[in-house]
Amino acid sequence: MPMRLSLRSKRMSIPGQGMMSARSGGYPRLSARVQLSSSLCAGVSIFAAGSLSHRFIEGEGFMVLMASMGASAVILYCVPDSPMAKPWPLIGGHLFSGLTGICCALWLPVPWQAGAAVAISILVMHVTHTLHPPGGATALTAVLGGEHVHQLGFMFLLTPLAVNVGLMFLMHAVYVLSRKPFSVRHPVELKPVQDDNSFVQPGDLHAALQELDEYVDIDEAELARIYRLAAEHAAQRAAAAKSDSRVKSHD
């Protein structure tokens, strides 16, 4: 019988929770190693992407495209497990948005180009499941990038956009693989719960995410992992409290 965890409806009070939320916006403080490695990798990837892009475009186009790649770097290296950092959203989000921006620049009146490029690119990313926020900046690059970008036309999708995105993808893959040895978890063995009605199953997580009817920057697998780790910490805390109560009862 596979191990299952129960989800209780009682709210849990965590000491210092209010202080943590006020100071960090609810985000946990990452280790110095993770902070440093993500910052360095982002800087190196943008340096490499900038060196490549400068061979193809200059001026406003170069600056706007680098802003888009910089936004991607924050997602790729600061939240590497985010659904938005996955290969398909990264590649598709930029390329579909770039194509949208080019089409708007070619066929729409100037006052409509920027707004239409962003709006249509967001819709396309929703439909194709490639939601990647920097894609909006990429769409604007094709519209507002200046003469160098406009002269490239549809070649902008290949050079420099696809080249940059490919480079960012490869460096992100190396970064993710380098983190694997540090992310291994050894779960604490928990007793299975016998009450079928309290089981949390993958379908329950999927239903909960669907009921929110908004994009949540976490997938079901990661949510299940967080729930499992929280349950392990709760089990350890309960075991420690039980042990302390036994010691006090003997005193």
Tokens of 182: 């540090």
Instruction: Print pLDDT tens along the chain (251 aa).
Output: 344 444 443 434 444 444 444 455 556 678 899 899 999 999 999 999 998 888 888 777 788 889 999 999 999 999 998 999 999 999 999 999 999 999 999 999 999 999 999 999 999 999 999 999 999 999 999 999 988 899 999 999 998 999 999 999 999 999 999 876 555 444 444 444 445 555 677 677 777 777 877 667 777 777 777 778 887 888 888 888 777 777 666 66
pLDDT at 15: 44
**231 burial level (CB within 10 Å; 0-12, 13-18, 19+):** middle
pLDDT at 26: 56
Closest among 240, 187, 245 to 3, alpha carbons compared: 187
Rounded CA separation 11/87 (Å): 37
Instruction: Please give, one letter per residue, the 3-state secondary structure of the chain.
Output: CCCCCECCCCCCCCCCHHHHHHHHCCCCCCCHHHHHHHHHHHHHHHHHHHHHHCCCCCHHHHHHHHHHHHHHHHHHHHCCCCHHHCHHHHHHHHHHHHHHHHHHHHHCCHHHHHHHHHHHHHHHHHHHCCCCCHHHHHHHHHHHCCHHHHHHHHHHHHHHHHHHHHHHHHHHHHHHHHHHHHCCCCCCCCCCCCCHHHECCHHHHHHHHHHHCCCCCCCHHHHHHHHHHHHHHHHHHHHHHHHHHHHHHHC
State the residue for tokens 């997938």: 219
pLDDT at 197: 56
Q: What is the identity of the amino acid at 150?
A: H
Tokens of 205: 């997580």
Number of H helices, E strands in the chain: 10, 0
Rounded CA separation 233/251 (Å): 27
